[in-house]
């Protein structure tokens, strides 16, 4: 006997509940799907980045990547920088090159480090974590401030800083190809007053502007001004050598790698800090500023800024300079900061503030905005096209330029159900995907030494979705590039192709599960006969591709046969959509839930409303 089909009204977005048996007309859990204008569609694939054929080295990092930044230089060339825990890299034209400063970057102490936290031999896959990642108990870890990572550009020049290292590093793409160009021994000793160094002939790839580092002394020497082309092949520096040689044959390293930002003569030391931001008024602002030449030497609650347009000038007492600093009251260490269109948003361990440009004589101020909303980790915030979003232990918050407001997080039970509350302070991060109006927040599951899940918020439509994905850093797309995400030691382009990829964790294909469909009242049995999905292939016009996109959907039902406590939930056999658009389910049970699996081949589709044919049965 035929029964009329009736619509299943499941609104867009995920609403996590304590149990999936709850009667709620919502999606309960999904993976790699999003809603665009109300329609469910799979997320785009990912492709691991690799250096072009013939290029030296692999597109891999020697330490975990924690920050990514993309920018255009003054010639229009797009660069992508990767700040890792102890290394710095840049991708120019598709080839990854290390630009770590000579002498390296100080390693972070971390909250979850110690025996068992890292690979036996990174970065060769597969990962081989061993032992326990917890080095200190949670009660101790929560008293420590997690490491912070900053990466931005000032014009065409890249700046980088880690809280463990504290130095303000810079890299200028205009000073030659990135990386080490040559390592050559001096032919005679030189002193700290020398502006010239006796050398052998220039190998041909050392050019003016490259940095010079004494590997024998482990000290920076200066910058190349010129190198005589005829004997005696004298190397001339732009200023006197910063350090004397150890002997007559010191090994000198030449190249365009990152260097410590030098202070302008007589304009104060460049302070160390926890991190920095570049403001739209063209100031570089360091927070947690210490070793700044002032009485007391700075403070973890201090934010300081250079003279306008001059990151080498930090002379606070000079009346002609706009350099200055402020100490936040009440006293509390600054955890992180981010530049917004309405000022610099600063979080301490207690409160949130905004610092805005006033002009001379004060230059900057700060105003308290809120209590108890500090990001869960120093990387857990991102700016979008309309506001700034971040995840705190108290929930999700936004700043719209005037005030801080909470955002209902409809997947918070899913997050709290399996989150490592210690590792999240060190590992979690947020990224913005502008193409889809999405804010992504990655976090580690319990006892996981890496991020393994992502909560995704569509701030345009107000919906949430989920992804099982291991990533450690990411940036949005530009007009000429796809979004880029790092998974510890490798990087992936996102929203490309039809395959999903992880480095640290197995890949889970897209799926969507609903709560109890409320087909009958109470806990009566019901028989689900058929279902008709409103599904269309996206970006396809030939019949074969359209048919394949729809055929990759598999429908099944979760149900129970008994009302007894502890009764296991059963799942029907997944079935495809028939050629005529029907799905044959023919399942009888209680507490019926819908599941849609996508794969094994992922082709774009858009899924709208469902019609279902069901018949109520008895209550036994």
Mean pLDDT of 283-289: 98
Q: Is residue 239 part of a domain?
A: yes
Q: Which helix (H) or strand (E) holds 413?
A: helix 412-416
Q: Please say if the pLDDT value at position 548 is more than 70.
A: yes
Give the pLDDT confidence score for residue 283 in this predicted structure.
98
Q: Is residue 358 part of a domain?
A: no
Under the banding of pLDDT at 50, 70 and 90, the label for residue 603 is confident
The three-class DSSP label of residue 453 is: strand
Residue 520's CATH number? 2.60.120
Q: Which helix (H) or strand (E) holds 140?
A: helix 138-141
Question: Are 50 and 107 contained in the same domain?
Answer: yes
DSSP 204-266: S---TT-EEEETTTTEEEEEEEEE-SSSS-EEEESSS-SS--SSSS-EEEEEE--EEPPPPTT
Q: In angstroms, rounded to a whole number, what is the distance separating the alpha carbons of residues 100 and 180?
A: 10
Tell me how far CA of residue 573 lies from CA of 59, 135, 163, 430, 557, in angstroms: 42, 45, 52, 37, 8
Do residues 590 and 559 make contact, with C-beta atoms less than 8 angstroms apart?
Answer: yes
Question: Are 249 and 235 contained in the same domain?
Answer: yes
Q: Is residue 344 part of a domain?
A: no
Tell which of 230, 256, 282 closes a domain: 256
Question: Are 109 and 20 contained in the same domain?
Answer: no
Give the pLDDT confidence score for residue 220 in this predicted structure.
86
User: Regarding predicted confidence, which is higher, 219 or 162?
Assistant: 162
Tell which of 207, 232, 256 closes a domain: 256
Give the pLDDT confidence score for residue 19 in this predicted structure.
65
Question: Are 55 and 153 contained in the same domain?
Answer: yes
Distance of CA 597 to the CA centre of its chain: 28
Q: Is residue 474 part of a domain?
A: yes
Question: Are 434 and 521 contained in the same domain?
Answer: no
Mean pLDDT of 555-564: 87
Q: Is residue 98 part of a domain?
A: yes
What percent of the chain is modeled with pLDDT above 90? 72
Question: Are 516 and 498 contained in the same domain?
Answer: no
Give the pLDDT confidence score for residue 539 in this predicted structure.
78
Lowest-pLDDT range, 135-139, 235-239, 488-492? 135-139
Tell which of 505, 528, 549 closes a domain: 505
User: Regarding predicted confidence, which is higher, 133 or 175?
Assistant: 175
Q: Could you read off the pLDDT of 207-253 as tens digits, one per residue?
A: 998 999 998 988 889 999 999 988 889 999 999 998 888 888 899 99
Q: Please say if the pLDDT value at position 179 is more than 90.
A: yes
Question: Are 125 and 217 contained in the same domain?
Answer: no
Q: Is residue 520 part of a domain?
A: yes
The three-class DSSP label of residue 551 is: helix
Give the pLDDT confidence score for residue 243 in this predicted structure.
85
Q: In angstroms, rounded to a whole number, what is the distance separating the alpha carbons of residues 556 and 244?
A: 74
Under the banding of pLDDT at 50, 70 and 90, the label for residue 115 is very low
In which domain, by residue range, is 19 found?
6-43+510-616
What is the CB neighbour count within 10 angstroms for residue 361? 8
Q: What share of the chain is helix, strand, coil (3-state, %, to 5)?
A: 5, 40, 55
Q: What is the mean pLDDT of the chain?
A: 90
Give the pLDDT confidence score for residue 430 in this predicted structure.
98
Residue 231's CATH number? 2.40.10
Mean pLDDT of 597-611: 88
Under the banding of pLDDT at 50, 70 and 90, the label for residue 323 is very high
Question: Are 23 and 57 contained in the same domain?
Answer: no
Q: What is the pTM of this model?
A: 0.91
CB crowding 236-250: b at 16 or more within 10 Å, else e: ebeeebbbbbeeeeb
Taking CA 359 as the corner, what is the angle to CA 354 and CA 364, rounded to the nearest 5 degrees? Answer: 30
- How many domains does one find in the chain? 3
Longest dimension (CA), the chain: 101
Question: Are 81 and 140 contained in the same domain?
Answer: yes
User: Regarding predicted confidence, which is higher, 350 or 135?
Assistant: 350
Do residues 466 and 444 make contact, with C-beta atoms less than 8 angstroms apart?
Answer: no
Question: Are 494 and 525 contained in the same domain?
Answer: no
The three-class DSSP label of residue 187 is: coil
- Residues 6 or more apart from 320 whose CB is under 8 A from it? none
Q: Is residue 557 part of a domain?
A: yes
Give the pLDDT confidence score for residue 522 in this predicted structure.
59
What percent of the chain is modeled with pLDDT above 70? 93
Q: Is residue 398 part of a domain?
A: no
Question: Are 61 and 37 contained in the same domain?
Answer: no
Q: Please say if the pLDDT value at position 121 is more than 60.
A: no
Q: Could you read off the pLDDT of 375-411 as tens digits, one per residue?
A: 999 999 999 988 999 999 999 999 999 999 999 999 9
Locate 553 and state its tokens. 């959907």
Question: Are 33 and 93 contained in the same domain?
Answer: no
């Amino acid at each position: 006997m035929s029964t009329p089909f009736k619509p299943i009204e499941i609104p867009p977005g995920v609403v996590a509940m304590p149990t999936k048996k709850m009667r709620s007309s919502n999606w309960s859990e999904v993976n790699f799907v999003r809603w665009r204008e109300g329609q469910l569609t799979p997320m785009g694939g990912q492709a691991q980045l690799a250096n072009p054929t013939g290029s030296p080295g692999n597109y891999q990092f020697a330490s975990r990547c924690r920050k990514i930044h993309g920018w255009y230089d003054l010639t229009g060339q797009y660069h992508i920088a990767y700040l890792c825990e102890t290394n710095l890299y840049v991708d120019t034209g598709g080839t990854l090159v290390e630009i770590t400063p000579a002498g390296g970057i100080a390693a972070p102490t971390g909250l979850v480090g110690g025996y068992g936290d890292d690979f036996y031999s990174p970065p060769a896959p597969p990962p081989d974590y061993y032992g326990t990642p917890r080095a200190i108990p949670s009660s101790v870890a929560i008293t420590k401030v997690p490491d912070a990572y900053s990466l931005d550009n000032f014009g065409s020049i890249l700046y980088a800083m880690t809280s463990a290292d504290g130095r303000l590093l810079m890299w200028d793409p205009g000073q030659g190809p990135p990386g080490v160009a040559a390592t050559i021994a001096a032919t005679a000793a030189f002193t700290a007053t020398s502006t010239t160094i006796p050398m052998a002939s220039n190998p041909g790839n050392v050019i003016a502007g490259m940095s010079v580092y004494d590997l024998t002394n482990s000290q920076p020497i200066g910058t190349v001004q010129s190198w005589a082309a005829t004997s005696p092949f004298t190397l001339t520096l732009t200023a006197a050598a910063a350090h004397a040689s150890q002997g007559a044959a010191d090994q000198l390293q030449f190249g365009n790698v990152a260097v410590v930002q030098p202070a302008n003569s007589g304009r104060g030391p460049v302070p160390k800090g926890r991190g920095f931001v570049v403001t739209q008024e063209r100031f570089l602002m360091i927070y947690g500023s210490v070793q700044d030449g002032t009485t007391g030497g700075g403070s973890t609650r201090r934010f300081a800024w250079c003279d306008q347009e001059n990151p080498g000038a930090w002379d606070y007492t000079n009346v002609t300079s706009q350099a200055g600093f402020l100490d936040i009251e009440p006293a509390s260490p600054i955890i992180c900061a981010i530049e917004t269109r309405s000022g610099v948003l600063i979080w301490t361990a207690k409160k949130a503030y905004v610092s805005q440009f006033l002009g001379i004589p004060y230059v900057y101020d700060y105003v308290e905005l809120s209590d108890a909303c500090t990001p869960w980790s120093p990387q857990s915030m991102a700016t979008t096209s309309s506001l700034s979003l971040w995840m705190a232990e108290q929930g999700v918050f936004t700043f719209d330029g005037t005030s801080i407001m909470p955002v209902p997080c409809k997947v918070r039970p899913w997050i709290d159900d399996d989150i490592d509350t210690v590792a999240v302070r060190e590992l979690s991060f947020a990224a913005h995907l502008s193409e889809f109006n999405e804010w992504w927040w990655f976090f580690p599951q319990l006892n996981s030494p890496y991020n393994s899940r992502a909560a995704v918020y569509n701030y345009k439509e107000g919906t949430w979705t989920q992804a099982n994905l291991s990533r450690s850093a990411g940036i949005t797309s530009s007009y000429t590039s796809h979004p880029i995400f790092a998974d510890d030691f490798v990087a992936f382009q996102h929203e490309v192709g039809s395959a999903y990829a992880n480095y640290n964790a197995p890949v889970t294909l897209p799926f969507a599960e609903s709560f109890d469909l409320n087909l009958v009242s109470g806990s009566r049995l019901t028989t689900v006969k058929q279902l008709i999905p409103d599904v269309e292939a996206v970006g396809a016009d030939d019949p074969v591709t359209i048919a394949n996109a729809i055929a990759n959907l598999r429908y099944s039902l979760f149900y129970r046969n008994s009302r007894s406590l502890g009764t296991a939930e059963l799942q029907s056999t997944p079935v495809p959509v028939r050629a005529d658009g029907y799905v044959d389910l023919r399942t009888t049970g209680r507490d019926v839930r819908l599941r849609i699996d996508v794969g094994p081949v992922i082709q774009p589709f858009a899924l709208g409303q469902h019609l279902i044919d069901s018949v109520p049965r008895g209550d036994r």
